[in-house]
Amino acid sequence: MYLSDSGNSAIFREIILTVKGLPDELNKFCKDILLECEQFCSYERLSSFCRGHSTLYFLNFELKSASNQDELFELNLPIFLENNHKEYGWSFSNLLKALIKNCHEGDEGKKEKLQKILAEIVKLNNQPQGDPRGNAIESKTIIEYRQILFKSIIEQIDFIEQENAVIEALKRNSTGAFLVHGYDERYGQKIFITRLFRKFPQFKNYMKITISLAGMSKVKELWNQTSSYFYDSDQTSEISPEQIRYKIFECLETQNIIFIFSEADRAYKSFIPKVINEFWKPIVEVKNQKKCCLTMILIDSRRTVCVKAKDYLAWNHLEHQYPKFPLHLDSNSNFSEQLLDQWLNNAIKQKIVPKDVLPGALMKESEGGVPELVYRKICSYCDVPWEEFEQCLIQ
Q: Region 13-25: what's the mean pLDDT?
A: 54
- 242 CB-near residues (< 8 Å, 6+ apart): none
Neighbours of 305 (CB within 10 A): 25
Q: What is the pLDDT of residue 184?
A: 86
Asked if pLDDT for residue 384 goes beyond 90, the answer is no
Q: What is the pLDDT of residue 103?
A: 86
Q: Region 55-83: what's the mean pLDDT?
A: 88
Q: What is the pLDDT of residue 11?
A: 30
Assign 106 to helix, strand or coil: coil
3-state secondary structure 276-307: HHHHHHHHHHHHCCCCCCEEEEEEECCCCHHH
The pLDDT mean for the chain works out to: 82
Tens of pLDDT along 192-237? Answer: 888 787 777 666 678 889 999 999 999 999 999 999 999 876 666 7
Q: What is the pLDDT of residue 132?
A: 31
Asked if pLDDT for residue 394 goes beyond 60, the answer is no
Strand locations in the chain (E): 84-85, 89-90, 175-181, 206-212, 256-262, 294-300, 327-328
